[in-house]
Amino acid sequence: MSEKLLVNPIECEGHGACAELLPEMITLDEWGYPVVDGRPLPAALERDARAAVSACPTLALRLVRC
Amino acid sequence: MTTATQGTPTEGTATGLPRLLPRHGQQPEDWYAHVARVGRLPYRDAPGRLISDLQAAGLTGRGGAAFPVHRKLAAVLEAAQARRRPPVVIANGAESEPASDKDATLLWLAPHLVLDGLQLAAEAVGAEQAILYTHADRRNDVGRRLRQAIAQRQAVAVDRVPVELAEAPPRFLAGQETALVNHLAGGPAIPTFTPPRITERGLAGAPTLVQNVETLAHLALIARRGPRWFRQVGTEAEPGSMLCTIRRSDGVPRITEVPLGVPLRALLAGPGEQGLREGAVLIGGYHGTWVPAAEAAKLTLDNHGLRRAGARVGAGILITLPQDRCGLVETALVVRYLALESAGQCGPCLNGLPRIAAALAELAGARPRRGTRANVERWAGLVTGRGACHHPDGAARFVRSALTTFAAELGRHERGRCGATDTTPFLPVPHGSAHTEQDWI
């Protein structure tokens, strides 16, 4: 079953940890907030994605089914 | 399909319109006048039964999103049954678009049609609680009128579900569904993150149905007259009629009920006017789209017809910008308002909208810096789709359409000139923005 990244923009405070851990899927905009690739997550990136999810200080990043 | 002819109002026996508003005069309808006009309340005596009629009618939400009404009702009913939790039904009359006046007019003239719809929707999903959420106390004393109407219904014992009145704060986002639920739960009227959808978990965790007041009025008539009657006007794909708030160059808002698919030309030229030759038309309000008048004259008022202009019907707001006004100046004033009305919760909206507003103010002045326009375009792209609600998306759509529609005016401003001969603001923009959380409550 494939998953995708979902950011809760209300919780997100732009710490930027996610973009550091998963640059393949997440970049930061000019204000430091994540621009998330919403396409299904490639299996090869699953580990890094989970690391990015757990690194978010505000728990704003999630992996959801798609 | 029935359409209006050019330059004439669409009211009249030929189209069977108006359906929602009383045909004669501006006198509010009491219960007896209402029943004499549309007949008694046709309860179906079980949840679910009305839903198939609504599906056959093809009724969509008239608050702006045009979501199929039967699907929302079915989702709420299903969630309620699955969780054995009675749902809540909310009539949304928090018409927060400053340029719109159709919901307040409907509530003022035909409150019982809306309240009938609320009862029938409550029955259809098995709700035991109903709320009417409006700006009533601030507008034309609609609140007193609604309290009278509810009291009159209690006197004749027509309502099966008690109706509570709730007041919306004067914020642009107050009518956004999750903001509304947050407010009714005692919090500020600011959007929350979905999922969960409110149809699953809304007010106090109950499955929650939110329908615009005009949608409920259509629902109340479909329950009486059936889907075939509803489809007698409108298009095959987008049946029925809708209320519009139309402002022509005199700036006076006129509320008109028109069939979906009516040519815009018929709506935007006043009696005796030749029609649209120059200037621009704003379709769909402040989350809507500017369209050059010559292009608007070729369009019809339905989402299918408006798609080629990148526009949507929205909540039926149509505004003709007078030729003596500057579209950039008008847009800049509105975008400033939209930026101030951001709930400020999401980074892209919080950062992007004020920057877009400031850059637009520069473009609307004399000799803007090179690169300002490109900044606006980049920021508009950057905020789109990145909020918890659609406020940044709507603001970006409005801004982008201004940059293309007023391209010639942009050129004039670059040379230090402006096409306006009248600098009084034309588009209505409320004064006062939120400073503390109290302003959202």
CATH top-level class for B31-230? alpha beta
Q: Does A30 touch chain B (CB under 8 A)?
A: yes
Which two structure tokens, joined as six digits, stand for B126?
């098995």
A8: which chain B residues are within 8 Å (Cβ-Cβ)? 193, 388
B274 backbone dihedrals φ, ψ, rounded to 5°:
-75, -20
Q: Mind giving me the DSSP string for B246-286?
A: EE-TT--EEEEEEETT-BHHHHHSPTT-----SSEEEESGG
CB B234 within 8 A of CB B1: yes
Q: Mind giving me the DSSP string for B21-49?
A: S-SSSSPPP-HHHHHHHH-S----SSTTH
What are the structural domain ranges in chain A?
Answer: 3-65
Tell me how far apart the alpha carbons of residues B44 and B122 are, in angstroms, rounded to a whole number: 11
Chain B residues with a Cβ under 8 Å from any Cβ in chain A: 191-193, 345-349, 351-352, 382, 386-388
B347: which chain A residues are within 8 Å (Cβ-Cβ)? 9, 12-14, 31-33
Give me the pLDDT at residue B270, please: 64
What are the structural domain ranges in chain B?
Answer: 31-230, 241-321, 327-425
Parallel, antiparallel or unpaired: strands A26-28 and B280-283: unpaired
According to the CATH classification, is domain B327-425 in 1.10.20.10?
no
Give me the pLDDT at residue B431, please: 85
Tell me how far apart the alpha carbons of residues B368 and B19 are, in angstroms, rounded to a whole number: 49
Is B10 a residue whose pLDDT tops 50?
no
Q: What is the pLDDT of residues B276-292, one digit of tens each?
A: 556 899 999 999 999 99
Tell me the mean pLDDT in the region B224-252: 96
B289 backbone dihedrals φ, ψ, rounded to 5°:
-135, 130
Tell me how far apart the alpha carbons of residues B205 and B129 are, in angstroms, rounded to a whole number: 13
Share of chain B above pLDDT 90, in %: 85
Q: Does A32 touch chain B (CB under 8 A)?
A: yes
Q: What is the pLDDT of residues B64-95, one digit of tens each?
A: 999 999 999 999 999 999 999 999 999 999 99
Tell me how far apart the alpha carbons of residues B223 and B291 are, in angstroms, rounded to a whole number: 37
Q: What is the pLDDT of residues B157-181, one digit of tens each?
A: 999 999 999 999 999 999 999 999 9
Q: What is the pLDDT of residues B336-386, one digit of tens each?
A: 999 999 999 999 999 999 999 999 999 999 999 999 999 999 999 999 999
A56: which chain B residues are within 8 Å (Cβ-Cβ)? none
- CATH number for the segment(s) A3-65: 3.30.70.20
Nearest CB partner across the interface for A10, out of B352, B382, B388: B388
Cβ separation of A33 and B386 shorter than 8 Å?
yes
B345: which chain A residues are within 8 Å (Cβ-Cβ)? 9-10
The shortest C-alpha distance from A63 to chain B (Å) reads 13
How would residue B140 be classed by pLDDT, with cut points 50, 70 and 90?
Answer: low
Low-confidence ranges of chain A (pLDDT < 50): none
Q: Does A33 touch chain B (CB under 8 A)?
A: yes
The shortest C-alpha distance from A14 to chain B (Å) reads 7
The shortest C-alpha distance from B352 to chain A (Å) reads 9
Q: What is the pLDDT of residues B305-320, one digit of tens each?
A: 999 999 999 999 999 9
Tell me how far apart the alpha carbons of residues B18 and A21 are, in angstroms, rounded to a whole number: 60
Is B297 a residue whose pLDDT tops 50?
yes
Which chain B residue has its CA at the smallest distance from A29's CA?
B382
Tell me how far apart the alpha carbons of residues B86 and B140 are, in angstroms, rounded to a whole number: 34
Q: What is the mean pLDDT of chain B?
A: 92
Helices B347-363/B372-383 angle, 10° precision: 150
Which chain B residue has its CA at the smallest distance from A13's CA?
B347
B393: which chain A residues are within 8 Å (Cβ-Cβ)? none
Identity of residue B224: R
Closest by CA position to A15, among listed A65, A66, A58 = A58
End-to-end alpha carbon distance in chain B: 45
A13: which chain B residues are within 8 Å (Cβ-Cβ)? 347
Share of chain B above pLDDT 70, in %: 94
Tell me the mean pLDDT in the region B221-239: 97
Is B8 a residue whose pLDDT tops 50?
no
Mutant choice from B178, B193, B350, B384 vs A, greatest count of A C-beta within 10 A: B193
The more confident residue out of B410 and B436 is: B410
Q: Does A65 touch chain B (CB under 8 A)?
A: no
Is B6 a residue whose pLDDT tops 60?
no
Nearest CB partner across the interface for A33, out of B191, B192, B347: B347
Mutant choice from A10, A35, A59 vs B, greatest count of B C-beta within 10 A: A10
Cβ separation of B347 and A13 shorter than 8 Å?
yes
Is B275 a residue whose pLDDT tops 60?
no
The shortest C-alpha distance from B437 to chain A (Å) reads 16
Nearest CB partner across the interface for B388, out of A9, A29, A32: A9
How would residue B433 be classed by pLDDT, with cut points 50, 70 and 90?
Answer: confident
According to the CATH classification, is domain B241-321 in 3.40.640.10?
no
Of all helices (H) and strands (E), which one includes residue B221? helix B213-225
Q: Does A6 touch chain B (CB under 8 A)?
A: no
The shortest C-alpha distance from A48 to chain B (Å) reads 23
